[in-house]
């Protein structure tokens, strides 16, 4: 099993609740049992999609997700007003900083304000040693891969190797947010999962 000891300790010291799971299915079971009869928003996340939580939580909650509902812009705004929010991270440093890049801003905005509680589902592949490594991973691994998924006409999508800090109108990495601790007034729980998940 991946050694989550250091990142778990550092996240707890920063004020996060932390749980470790062997599989994404176990993490999904936990969230499904903990979140009931409330409103749930979901940010763009391959990890959350793979968890099946949109359908599972939808049987006993009101769930809003722009990947599954149209019009997408309206769903993004509605998801920002929910009690609970589900997301992942582009990178998590063992020192506890979480780095996320966004194009529309709804996902990172929801990490900063507006919800009662946020759950981060994070696979072992997102964990790196330092904050600098986390910034590098978000920009040069997660960003280009997401741009390729979206068929963006950007240098990173075409070449697939790194961020070019381009000025393309199709640029998807328009804002980068570092979370150093949970935001005041919003509970945050990090679910560390011993699988390679998402980008």
Q: Provide the pairing of β-strand 117-123 with 84-87.
A: parallel
Which residues 6+ apart lie within 8 Å of 166 measured at CB?
Answer: 154, 155, 156
CA distances from 108 to 76, 80, 98, 111, 175 (A): 12, 10, 11, 5, 8
Instruction: Please write the tens of the pLDDT for every residue from 48-74.
Output: 999 999 999 999 999 999 999 999 999
Residue 97: pLDDT band with limits 50, 70, 90: very high
pLDDT at 75: 97
Coil vs helix vs strand at 107: helix
pLDDT above 90 as % of the chain: 98
Look at residue 118 and tell me whether its pLDDT is greater than 90: yes
Asked whether the CA dihedral 59, 19, 142, 110 is positive or negative, the reply is positive
Whether the model clears a pTM of 0.85, i.e. scores above it, the answer is yes
What is the mean predicted confidence (pLDDT) over 87-106?
97
3-state helix, strand, coil in the chain (%, to 5): 35, 25, 40
Residue 22: pLDDT band with limits 50, 70, 90: very high
CB 26 within 8 A of CB 192: no
**What's the token pair of residue 112?**
């900063």
Q: Where are the domains of the chain?
A: 5-130+179-193
CATH of domain 5-130+179-193: 3.40.50.10420
């Amino acid at each position: 099993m991946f050694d989550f000891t250091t990142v778990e300790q550092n996240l707890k010291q920063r004020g996060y609740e932390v749980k470790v799971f062997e599989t994404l299915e176990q993490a999904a079971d936990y969230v499904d049992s903990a979140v009931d009869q409330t409103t749930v928003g979901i940010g763009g996340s391959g990890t959350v999609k793979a968890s099946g939580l949109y359908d599972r939580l939808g049987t006993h909650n009101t769930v809003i997700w722009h990947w599954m509902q149209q019009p997408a812009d309206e769903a993004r705004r509605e998801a920002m007003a929910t009690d609970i929010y589900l997301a992942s991270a582009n990178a998590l440093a063992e020192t506890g900083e979480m780095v996320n890049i966004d194009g529309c801003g709804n996902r990172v905005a929801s990490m900063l304000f507006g919800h009662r509680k946020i759950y981060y589902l994070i696979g072992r592949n997102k964990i790196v040693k330092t904050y600098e490594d986390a910034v590098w991973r978000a920009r040069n691994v997660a960003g280009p891969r997401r741009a390729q998924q979206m068929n963006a006409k950007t240098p990173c999508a075409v070449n697939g190797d790194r961020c070019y800090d381009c000025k393309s109108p199709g640029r998807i990495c328009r804002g980068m947010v570092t979370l150093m601790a949970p935001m005041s007034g919003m509970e945050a729980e990090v679910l560390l999962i011993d699988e390679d998940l998402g980008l």
